[in-house]
Amino acid sequence: MMHHQGPNMMVDFEGALTGRRFLGCPVQQDEDVNCGVVEWVDAPWLEILQRFLARICNIYHEQNLRRVKDKQAHEKEVGKLKKEIDFLSDSYN
């Protein structure tokens, strides 16, 4: 009890550990402190399930990265078009 508070029951949502419950530091959510896992509640997943979950998480993160890159490219193109519209508008006036 590093912060003089009992641990909270939490669920992991990353990679091969997705869905496993653990007792974790109650402070980390509020104050950006990460004390790590206090104690796992659930037994480890089967190896095949861990590999599957890791693969699914990788696919999810790759697709998010693609969306971010697409959004950045879109915003860059919109910026170019706005500059061109401004230039044409100034030229016309």
The pLDDT, as a whole number, for residue 2 is 58
- Give the integer Cα–Cα distance in Å for 42 and 45: 8
**59 falls within a domain:** yes
User: What are the strands of the beta sheet with 21-24, ordered from one edge?
Assistant: 8-11, 21-24, 37-40
Assess if residue 3 is contained within a domain.
no
Residue 2 lies in a domain: no
Asked if the structure places residue 38 within a domain, the reply is yes
For residue 89, pLDDT over 60 is answered with: yes
pLDDT exceeds 80 at position 5: no
Is 23 among the domain residues?
A: yes
**How many domains, the chain?**
1
Position 33 scores a pLDDT of 67
Model confidence at 93, in pLDDT bands (50, 70, 90)?
A: confident
Residue 76 domain-assigned?
A: yes
At residue 3, the pLDDT reads 65
- Does an H or E element contain 8, and which? strand 8-11
Residue 1 belongs to a domain: no
pLDDT digits over 29-75, tens only? 556 666 777 789 999 999 999 999 999 989 998 998 888 888 888 99
Q: The tokens of 88 are what?
A: 């044409």
Q: Which domain holds residue 39?
A: 8-92
H or E element that contains 87: helix 47-92
Amino acid at 81: L
- Does 34 reside within a domain? yes
